[in-house]
Structure 1
Amino acid sequence: MKRSFVREILESIDNETISFAGGLPNEKLFPSKELKKCASKVLKNKEIYQYGLSNGIKELRQKIAKMYCNSGFKTNEENILITTGSQQAMFIISKYFENKSITLEKPSYLGAINIFKLNHIKMKEVDLKKDGIDIKKFEKSFAKTKLAYLIPDFQNPTSTTYSKTKRDEVAKIIKKYDGILIEDSPYSELYFEKKETLISSQIPNNSFHLGSFSKTLSPSLRIGWIRASKELIDSLIIIKESIDLHSSGISQYILNEYLKDDANFEKHTQKIRDDYQDKMEYFCKCLDKYLPTFKYTKPKGGMFIYGSFKKIDTFELVKKAMKEKVLFVPGNQFYTNKEKINNEIRFNYTNSSKKDIKKGIKTISKLI
């Protein structure tokens, strides 16, 4: 199995590079001062340096459970497993379903595809439409696999957002076949218009809901979580313990301290939404002006713009762009059969200045 192309090209970044590649948050928006205060406070407590519970510290799990309850999704701390980022959450669940088959979107998140391969999970791709997965094809596939991996909120890589109708239909199919949904939601709080209802809230005993603080606070904390029934969580803890015993206690305690101020966290998250929407609008204007043949749908949230050219090989294009210190991810990386797709691109717009956005897109236009 090859390494993630995204992770590989990120290693080529230096101070002169304009990167539209990785899904990096805007580091200027990290609440560094607040987190520093929280760290200074909790580091005085010697207990935080000790081994902790495998499922995570109780206070943090309670706060995450409260977030679900506030949105109408009944949850308690027993339904939460703290993980070392949502990437580990994906690995734990994949290990649980090792050697099974899974239905997923086409295209889909590269990190998940690699994890499924590593755990010998056979992937059955289903096309995405503008309002979500193709329901007829999804049901046909899910009837056989009884396991699905979906990203309904600002999907990676396409930024597709599932409509209410599609969410309801997916939930009905999961119930009908008594299967399991893995609902990956790292971008659900990064909405520009409204927050959508989680599919998992309709099927709490037939789903794993994955969340993360990497996109809203700091990826360096490496704190994510799984929300599921107590029975499913108990099954996963065995796998979690075998990997790392528990996620970083220090990160958990710092995060727990920060989340004590609900209003401040919401204010911070809204600041991110406003900044990202502004960046997205500017990125789209530059695309329309300098790359008019690139066809895309403007996202309603998240971190990416996805689209395609008619006859341009974007894998060859990125090789040329890298020589000019501009990076993006060619769309073929998000398919299980990479060689068949050669004209699509995923752009990240959240971690570049407007000056670099304009310069980067103009550079790409000169290479076409």
Structure 2
Amino acid sequence: MKRSFIREILEAIDEETISFAGGLPSLNLFPTQDLKEATIKVLDNPKIYQYTVSNGINELREQIAKRYSDEGFPTTKDNILITTGSQQAMYILAKFFENKDITIEEPSYLGAMNIFRLNKLKMQGVKLENDGVNISEFEKSFKNTKLTYLIPDFQNPSATTYSQEKREEITKIVEKHDGILIEDSPYSELFFDKKMPYISAKLPKNSFHLGSFSKTLVPSYRIGWIRADEEKIKSLLIIKESIDLHSSGVSQYILAEYLKDTQKYEKHLQSIRDDYKAKAEYFSKQLKLIMPEFKHQLPKGGMFLYGTFGDNIDTFALVQECLKKKVVYVPGNQFYIDKVPNGEIRFNYTHSNFEQIEKGIKLIKSCL
């Protein structure tokens, strides 16, 4: 096992470094005043400081369940398990499926891949195309593994959005082989134009759907969740209790109070979408102007922009030079099972302002 390259990079940089590496939300968009008011309202209640139930407080699970139901995915609080971030959700699931084979996208989320390795899941990579996984490769792998981990909405790292056609094909394949889908959706609310339906909604008995408040509200509360069939939630709860008994009660109560005003939350989500869309478009524009040899697609949402220099540049070697000039990104080889150097890069555009975006791209260009 090796540490996450992204976490190591975050520790190696200082405040002068322009970072396109971590998936960090914009500091300017945290709803600090609204969260402060919610915090003040709950602080006088002594129960927020006590141990609480392992599956999460009722109020918060009911609020999350209602959002699913309102989108046409019938859900109750008993279908929800609160976790300490979606990273813990993935660890719980990896422990649940320990030693099994699993079909994943390539490239895929580095954090999930490390968890799968730690829990001895044998990963089978399937090529990711512009509109989702290659369907023929996916079925060939899935009929053997009967377990898959996918990020259909603004995928990390590629920013790919699955088409409606591929979502339907995946649904059919999972049903045909009576397998299990782990659908990771931390970015689904960060759409620029429209929200796509969850694949899990058509597979309520054969899916685990992962969500998080880290990308839509604040990461430091460390609150995520798993949505699944009630019996599966009971099984996962046993694993959860062996890790931390329960996720932060204070964070849960603050979030539950804040989410009472749904209009306020929706307004906040829209402000994030508007800001991130403008930054994504600006980042893409600057890449075309300053570094046209880097080929990429404009994302439809999320926090990342992904592309490649082709076979001529080793972006892992390049980032070592970029570090000296105080600009960083994540080289694409980190998102593959075998980690062979390649010309791909994942850029995060949400944490930087326009000036930093332009300056950072120029610094990378100077290192080429």
Q: TM-score range by the shorter chain?
A: over 0.9
> After the TM superposition, which residues 95-174 of structure 1 pair with which residues of structure 2 at under 5 Å, given as runs?
95-174=95-174
2:207 maps to what in 1? 207
For 1:160 and 1:17, locate their aligned partners in 2 and report how far apart those are by CA, in whole Å. Answer: 28
For 2:129 and 2:116, locate their aligned partners in 1 and report how far apart those are by CA, in whole Å. Answer: 23
For 1:149 and 1:35, locate their aligned partners in 2 and report how far apart those are by CA, in whole Å. Answer: 33
1:217 maps to what in 2? 217
For 2:55 and 2:13, locate their aligned partners in 1 and report how far apart those are by CA, in whole Å. Answer: 36
Query: Shift of the alpha carbon at 1:13?
Result: 2.2
1:268 alignment partner, SS class: helix
The TM-score with structure 1 as length reference comes to 0.99
Query: Shift of the alpha carbon at 1:72?
Result: 0.5
Further displaced range: 253-262 or 341-350: 341-350
Query: Shift of the alpha carbon at 1:14?
Result: 1.4
For 1:183 and 1:3, locate their aligned partners in 2 and report how far apart those are by CA, in whole Å. Answer: 24
1:312 maps to what in 2? 313
For 2:104 and 2:145, locate their aligned partners in 1 and report how far apart those are by CA, in whole Å. Answer: 10
1:338 maps to what in 2? 339
> After the TM superposition, which residues 346-365 of structure 1 pair with which residues of structure 2 at under 5 Å, given as runs?
346-365=346-365
Query: Shift of the alpha carbon at 1:129?
Result: 1.0
1:10 alignment partner, SS class: helix
For 1:331 and 1:215, locate their aligned partners in 2 and report how far apart those are by CA, in whole Å. Answer: 22
The TM-score with structure 2 as length reference comes to 0.99
2:19 maps to what in 1? 19
1:327 maps to what in 2? 328
Q: How many residues align?
A: 367
2:12 alignment partner, SS class: coil
1:267 maps to what in 2? 267
For 2:15 and 2:278, locate their aligned partners in 1 and report how far apart those are by CA, in whole Å. Answer: 24
AA in 1 matched with 2:88: Q
Consecutive unaligned residues of structure 1, counting only runs of 5 or more, are none
Deviations 1:112-132 (A, max 9, x none): 000000000000000011110
For 1:320 and 1:13, locate their aligned partners in 2 and report how far apart those are by CA, in whole Å. Answer: 13
Across the aligned residues of Structure 1 and Structure 2, the Cα RMSD in angstroms comes to 0.5
For 1:119 and 1:44, locate their aligned partners in 2 and report how far apart those are by CA, in whole Å. Answer: 41
Consecutive unaligned residues of structure 2, counting only runs of 5 or more, are none
Q: Identity over the aligned pairs, expressed in percent? A: 65
For 1:114 and 1:348, locate their aligned partners in 2 and report how far apart those are by CA, in whole Å. Answer: 20
For 1:353 and 1:158, locate their aligned partners in 2 and report how far apart those are by CA, in whole Å. Answer: 21
AA in 2 matched with 1:110: L
AA in 2 matched with 1:180: I
1:177 maps to what in 2? 177
1:338 alignment partner, SS class: coil
For 1:323 and 1:67, locate their aligned partners in 2 and report how far apart those are by CA, in whole Å. Answer: 46
Q: Which structure 1 residue ranges, 4+ long, deviate > 6 Å from structure 2?
A: none
For 2:226 and 2:5, locate their aligned partners in 1 and report how far apart those are by CA, in whole Å. Answer: 26
Query: Shift of the alpha carbon at 1:41?
Result: 1.1
AA in 2 matched with 1:76: T
